[in-house]
Amino acid sequence: MVLLGQMQLVRIVAHHEDPRVAADLFASEGIAAIGWSSLGDLGSKTRKEIKALIQRQWKTSEQESARMTWELLTLRDTVKVGDTVFAYVRDNTVALVGEVVRGYEFNNSNKVGNKSGPVGYAHQIGVRWRDAPRTFSRFLLPKGLSDWVAGRGTIGIRNYDRDDLERTINKISPGTHIAAKKAGREKNLDPKIRGPPWTRDEDVLALALYKSTGSSHDDEDPEVAELSRLLKRTSAAVVFKLGNFKAVQTKGRAGLSHFAPMDLKVWREFDGHDSELYQEAEKIRNGIYARFKDREVGQIEDLARRLMKEGRLSTERLSQVLPRQKGAALRDAVLENYGGKCAFCDLDIREMLVAAHIRRWTDDSENRYNLSNTLCLCVLHHSAFDNGLLTVSDDGTIVVSQNLRKSNSRAVRSALLNLDNTKIRMPLSYPPGKQFLADHKRLFFNN
């Protein structure tokens, strides 16, 4: 039921494989549509009949068939003339906004419904699509709408305040229309969101983020937020830039349908040279970072810790964070993995604990941030381990160097010799790698 002053909104995913082509056809035919056309005209079928047909055709589960039936019946029965429709495409982009002018119809002969056409969606409604806004970031919508429009499923329904909606759409309208097929029209974007033109260095940082993580980010993504703080640009501007690179990569078929000449230039400069790109990004990042004040530094350092916690600090992502961030993040992660205690003794004074590498990080840069190549050790045991006075067998047994047996020191006996043949404290999630331990024993241990 729609209350006074409210109206019903409909979201439809234009198409899962080729949403941009579908949206263009929706616009030219004045319709919106969804798939599963082989079910035929649903006009007079009951819910039960539709569900049975779906199960017969696609052997879908009970739950999946029910969902598909619900989606088809939403289009047929719930959508009403006068509703506002959003056609959503991938990459956080709304392609079209319009008003429903005609209810459900099965049509497999027009360009959208034709089985041999690019879309083949025959379950249709008539829509008068607006000339503007078109092809805009969903983040230009208020938060609630922005989340809803990108929600799960092919179709969705909600109520919304009529006046609010009109204001929202009008606010987007003026500068936001982007001619969908023409690349290079960034000037049509809302200048408030785009900000001043991006420099080459800024573009390199955004490209490194795009290459290592793809284009599907929203503006609350920690990596987007971090880059936005680093560049002092809005998160929406960063999200847009990732969409620009998608457009470059796909020659305008996906992502935003426009990009700046600089985007293309930077793309070509590093095309096929990922590691050079990441190195360059790290260099630029260090340069910007050096000019920051302490307070700003603190905000940005948070990122590496968050990524490490999520187990996401992969080699590509290392270019997103600075050496000092990485070091701090690694130490935090290792201490947490070992419950804040030395793996050899039970010393739990944080200031006296270190993230020790099993295979020395100077010898193996690839495993520098691999938690299975680390042990949490107190400073005494770290020093003993690094100097080959202690090692660990691959089953976790501590082995003490024979040389220490000659010592008369009580401290040596209590802190080192007593550990011989005892087991290390096993960590919560990343046990030390057997190969790393074997290498330490072979290469560094003074038997």
Find the part of the chain contacting Zn ion (CB under 5 A) among 27-35, 239-247, 321-329, 381-389. Answer: 381-389
Shortest Cβ distance from residue 392 to Zn ion (Å)? 13
Shortest Cβ 204–Zn ion spacing (Å): 44
Tokens read off for 339: 């419950």
Min dist. Cβ of residue 432 to Zn ion (A)? 15
CA distance 117 to 248: 26
Q: How many other CB atoms are there within 10 angstroms of residue 438's CB atom?
A: 15
Q: Which is nearer to Zn ion, 103 or 396 (CB)?
A: 396
Q: Which of 400, 438, 424 is nearest to 343 (CA)?
A: 424
Query: Which of the residues 31 through 60 are near Zn ion (CB under 5 A)?
Result: none
Q: How near is the Cβ of 341 to Zn ion at its closest, in Å?
A: 8
Sign of the Cα torsion 276, 277, 280, 286 reads: negative
Q: Does residue 378 bind Zn ion (CB under 5 A)?
A: yes
Contact 314, 211 (CB under 8 A): no
Residue 57 Cα to chain centre, angstroms = 35
Stretch that binds Zn ion, among 53-61, 267-275, 380-388, 438-446 (CB under 5 A): 380-388
How many chain residues bind Zn ion (CB under 5 A)?
6
Among 11, 45, 211, 381, binds Zn ion (CB under 5 A): 381
Query: Of the listed pieces 2-10, 116-124, 249-257, 373-381, which binds Zn ion according to CB under 5 A?
Result: 373-381
Q: Which is nearer to Zn ion, 241 or 382 (CB)?
A: 382
Using alpha carbons, select from 443, 333, 323, 435 the residue that is nearest to residue 386. 443
Shortest Cβ 419–Zn ion spacing (Å):
9
Cβ proximity of 246 and 206 under 8 Å? no
| 140 touches Zn ion (CB under 5 A) | no
- What is the nearest approach in angstroms of Zn ion to the Cβ of residue 377? 6
The Cβ of residue 181 has, within 10 Å, a number of other Cβ atoms equal to 9
Distance CA 87, CA 5 (A): 23
374-378 and 353-357: which strand pairing? antiparallel
Helices (H), 97-234: 143-149, 162-176, 191-194, 200-213, 222-231
CB of 305 to Zn ion, least distance (A): 24
Helix (H) or strand (E) holding 17: none
- In the complex, least distance from residue 328 CB atom to Zn ion, rounded to whole angstroms: 21
> What would the x/- binding string for Zn ion be over residues 188 to 207, using CB under 5 A?
--------------------
Nearer to Zn ion, 241 or 381 (CB): 381
Rank residues 127 and 343 by Cβ distance to Zn ion and give the closer one: 343
Determine if 100 is a binding residue for Zn ion (CB under 5 A): no
Per CB under 5 A, contacts with Zn ion among 324-363 are 342, 344-345, 347
Q: 92 or 401, CB closer to Zn ion?
A: 401
Q: Which stretch binds Zn ion (CB under 5 A): 10-18, 157-165, 251-259, 376-384?
A: 376-384
Q: How many CB atoms lie within 10 A of CB 115?
A: 12
Q: Is residue 324 within 8 Å of residue 347, measured between CB atoms? A: no
Class of residue 316 by CB neighbours under 10 A (exposed 0-12, middle 13-18, buried 19+): middle
CA angle 249, 250, 254 (to 5 degrees): 120
**Nearer to Zn ion (CB atom), residue 51 or residue 381:** 381
Nearest distance, CB of residue 228 and Zn ion, angstroms = 42
User: Nearer Cβ to Zn ion, position 178 or 384?
Assistant: 384
- Enumerate binding residues for Zn ion (CB under 5 A): 342, 344-345, 347, 378, 381
